[in-house]
Chains A and B, each alone.
Chain A
C-alpha cells in the first residue's frame, strides 16, 4: 500500500519541471534576459517592467494552461486519492519557478550595469532611498512574477472558457498601466489618485523625459506611495490569488482553512494598501542635476534637451 505521506513535494517537483520546460515560459525568460542585457530604456528604475511583463504575464498564461491541462484527464485525476487542493497547492508551489527566473533576470541586469555601464547620476533614482530602489528593482519584479502565475492557477481553476488566461493577462496589463500613470494626470497628490496609484498589483514609480536612445533623462519625476508597503500589499495579493485557486474543489476542514487564510490575507492586504498610501510619498517630486523639487504632476515634464 502506498505510504500515507503528503504527495505535495513530488507533485510540486513535477509541476515545477513542467513549468520550467514550457515553451512560452522559456520564450519570456529569454526575452527578459535579452532586454536586460543591452541599453534597456533610459532609466534604471523602469527596468522593473521587463521581468514583470515577460516572465510575470507570460507566466500567468503558462500557469493557467498547466492548471487547465489536466482537465482533459479529470475523469482519472479526480478518481485519484490526492485531492484537487493538493494538486492546486503543487501548482502554486511551481510558481516559484517564474519567481526564481525573475530573480535571475534582475540580478543579471544589475551585473550588466555594474560591469558594462557607468554609475547613473543620483537624480535618475528620484527621491527614492537606496533601500527603496532595491525594493523597486529587486523585490517588486520577483513578487510580480510570483503573483501573476498564482493568479494564472486561479484562472485555470475557475475560468473554463478558451482565451481566459490571455484575457486576464491583458486586463492585468491595462490595469497596471492605468493605475501606474493615470493618477499623475489626475493630480497625483489627491487622495483618489494616491489610492488608485497603489490599488494595483503593479505600478510605476517614476516618469522621466528620456527616451529609448537616451540612456539618461534630464528630469525624473518620482510618483507617490511607499515601495516597501506596496511590496507587502502585492505579497498579500499573491496569497489571495493562491487562496482563490485553492478554494476550487476544497471541501470540509480544508475549505474552512482556506477561507480563514483568505481572511488573514485580505486583512493584510487592506492594512498594507492603506500604509502604502498613507506612509509613502504624498506628492510628486521632480529631480534633475539641479536638485529635487516638489512638482505638480499635471504639468508635463520638460522635453529632453
Chain B
C-alpha cells in the first residue's frame, strides 16, 4: 500500500486538507462557521458532540456538498472547479454516516459497481481489487450474499470496502466503527493504520478509544467551529492534573461518574481526599467540551 502511494505520487509533506474560513448554513441554521483546518497526511480523528458539524464538514471534504463561504483545498485542488473536483474524487474514499444500498445487489456486485464508478475498468484488475477490499474488511465469505441479508455491522463493512477501493490518498470516514464488534474494530484499526502510512485518513467518531488507538492528530469540532486541533498527546496533556479518583462524586467537578471499581472519576478541580490519575483522551475531550460549554454560557 505504501508503494501504491509512491506510485500515485502522493505528497506526504503537503497538507491534504486546507480550509480557510469555511462556512455552511442550512435553512438559516449555521452548521459550520469560519472553520480553519489544516490536515497533514496520517490518521486524524475528528471528535465533537452531535450537531457539531462533523458530518457537514466531511460531506464538504467528500466533495458532495459545497461550502457557502471560505476556501477549500483538498489534495491541493479546489472542489468548486468541476475538473479539479473529479481529480479529487479519483483520489478519495468516502464512507458517509448513513449509507443505504440499492436493492438487489450482492456484496460483491455493489463493491464491483463502485469499483467501476471509481474508474477501475480493466476486469481482471477490478476483480482483484474488489476481492482485496472485501478481504480487508473480512467479508470475502459474504461476497455472494445479498446486502439485504447482512447484519448492520456487515453492511457497515461493505461501505468501508467501497471506501477502500483504489487505495485512495484521502479516506474520509464518518463513524466507521458504528455497529462493529470489538474484534472487527481492532481488525479495522489494523487496516486503517496501514492506510495511514501512505495516505490521509480522517475519521469522525464518538469513540475516543478509536482515536486514542489510531490517530496521531485530533480535531475537535464544536458548534460548527474548531475548538482544538493538534496531537492526541497535546490534547491529553491539557487534562494533566485535572482527573481525580475519589470515593464520592464532587459537585464542583465538570464531569463526574462512577467507575466499575465503585470509585468516582471527577474531572476538574481537585476534590477532597482524591487520587490524581493519568488522563485519557476521553477525559481530555470531556474537559475541553466542558470549557467550551462554559464559554458559550458566559458569552
Which residue of A72, A81, A251 contacts B90 across the interface (Cβ within 8 Å)?
A81
* Chain A nearest CB, measured from B8 CB (Å): 5
A11 at the interface (CB under 8 A from B): yes
B41 at the interface (CB under 8 A from A): no
Which residue of B7, B89, B99 contacts A81 across the interface (Cβ within 8 Å)?
B89
Interface centre among A9, A18, A75 (most CB of B within 10 A): A75
Which chain B positions have C-beta within 8 A of A5?
119, 121
A129 at the interface (CB under 8 A from B): no
Which residue of A7, A73, A87 contacts B102 across the interface (Cβ within 8 Å)?
A73
Which residue of B98, B103, B126, B166 contacts A69 across the interface (Cβ within 8 Å)?
B103
Among residues of B, the one whose C-beta sits closest to the C-beta of A71 is: B102
Within 8 A of A (CB), among B101-145: 101-104, 109-110, 112-114, 116-123, 126
Q: How far is the CA of A69 from the CA of B109 in the complex (A)?
A: 14
B113 touches A14 (CB 8 A): yes
Task: Answer whether A72 and B100 are a contact pair too, CB < 8 Å, given A2-B118, A2-B120.
Answer: yes
A114 at the interface (CB under 8 A from B): no
Q: How large is the interface on A (under 10, 10 to 19, 20 to 34, 35 or more residues)?
A: 20 to 34
Task: Answer whether A7 and B64 are a contact pair too, CB < 8 Å, given A76-B94, A79-B94.
Answer: no
Q: How far is the CA of A4 from the CA of B82 in the complex (A)?
A: 16
A82 touches B116 (CB 8 A): yes
B202 at the interface (CB under 8 A from A): no
Among residues of A, the one whose C-beta sits closest to the C-beta of B61 is: A79
A72 touches B96 (CB 8 A): no
A10 touches B123 (CB 8 A): yes
Q: How far is the CA of A70 from the CA of B103 in the complex (A)?
A: 9
* Chain A nearest CB, measured from B269 CB (Å): 44
- For the complex, count residues of B whose C-beta is within 8 A of A: 39
Within 8 A of B (CB), among A3-48: 3-5, 7, 9-11, 14, 18, 21
Among residues of A, the one whose C-beta sits closest to the C-beta of B85 is: A81
A1 at the interface (CB under 8 A from B): yes
Which chain B positions have C-beta within 8 A of A82?
116-119
B86 at the interface (CB under 8 A from A): yes
A252 at the interface (CB under 8 A from B): yes
Q: How far is the CA of A79 from the CA of B95 in the complex (A)?
A: 10
Within 8 A of B (CB), among A62-109: 69-70, 72-73, 75-83, 87
B159 at the interface (CB under 8 A from A): yes
Within 8 A of A (CB), among B167-213: none
Interface centre among A73, A78, A251 (most CB of B within 10 A): A73
Q: How far is the CA of A69 from the CA of B94 in the complex (A)?
A: 19
* Chain B nearest CB, measured from A8 CB (Å): 10
Q: How far is the CA of A3 from the CA of B109 in the complex (A)?
A: 21
Task: Answer whether A3 and B162 are a contact pair too, CB < 8 Å, given A14-B113, A76-B94, A79-B92.
Answer: no
Q: How far is the CA of A120 from the CA of B37 in the complex (A)?
A: 79
* Chain A nearest CB, measured from B178 CB (Å): 15
Task: Answer whether A73 and B119 are a contact pair too, CB < 8 Å, given A1-B7, A80-B114.
Answer: no
Q: How far is the CA of A11 from the CA of B117 in the complex (A)?
A: 8
* Chain A nearest CB, measured from B170 CB (Å): 11
Which residue of A10, A21, A70, A83 contacts B86 across the interface (Cβ within 8 Å)?
A83
Interface centre among B92, B94, B119 (most CB of A within 10 A): B119
B162 touches A76 (CB 8 A): yes
A81 touches B86 (CB 8 A): yes
* Chain B nearest CB, measured from A35 CB (Å): 27
Which residue of A9, A18, A72, A80 contacts B118 across the interface (Cβ within 8 Å)?
A80
Which chain A positions have C-beta within 8 A of B82?
251-252
Q: How far is the CA of A69 from the CA of B82 in the complex (A)?
A: 25
Interface centre among A14, A69, A75, A79 (most CB of B within 10 A): A79
B280 at the interface (CB under 8 A from A): no
Which chain A positions have C-beta within 8 A of B229?
none
A11 touches B99 (CB 8 A): no
Task: Answer whether A70 and B166 are a contact pair too, CB < 8 Å, given A5-B121, A79-B89.
Answer: no
Task: Answer whether A7 and B159 are a contact pair too, CB < 8 Å, given A1-B7, A1-B90, A75-B94.
Answer: no
Closest 9 CB pairs of A and B: A80-B117, A75-B96, A69-B102, A72-B100, A2-B119, A81-B89, A79-B94, A82-B117, A81-B90
Sample of 10 more A-B contacts, CB < 8 Å, known A7-B119, A9-B121? A2-B121, A3-B121, A5-B119, A10-B123, A72-B101, A75-B59, A75-B99, A76-B94, A76-B99, A79-B89
Pairs across A and B, CB under 8 Å, 19 listed: A3-B119, A5-B121, A7-B117, A7-B121, A10-B121, A14-B109, A14-B112, A21-B104, A72-B101, A75-B64, A75-B98, A76-B96, A76-B163, A79-B64, A80-B118, A81-B89, A81-B117, A82-B117, A87-B117
User: Which residues of A are interface residues toward B (Cβ below 8 A)?
Assistant: 1-5, 7, 9-11, 14, 18, 21, 69-70, 72-73, 75-83, 87, 251-252
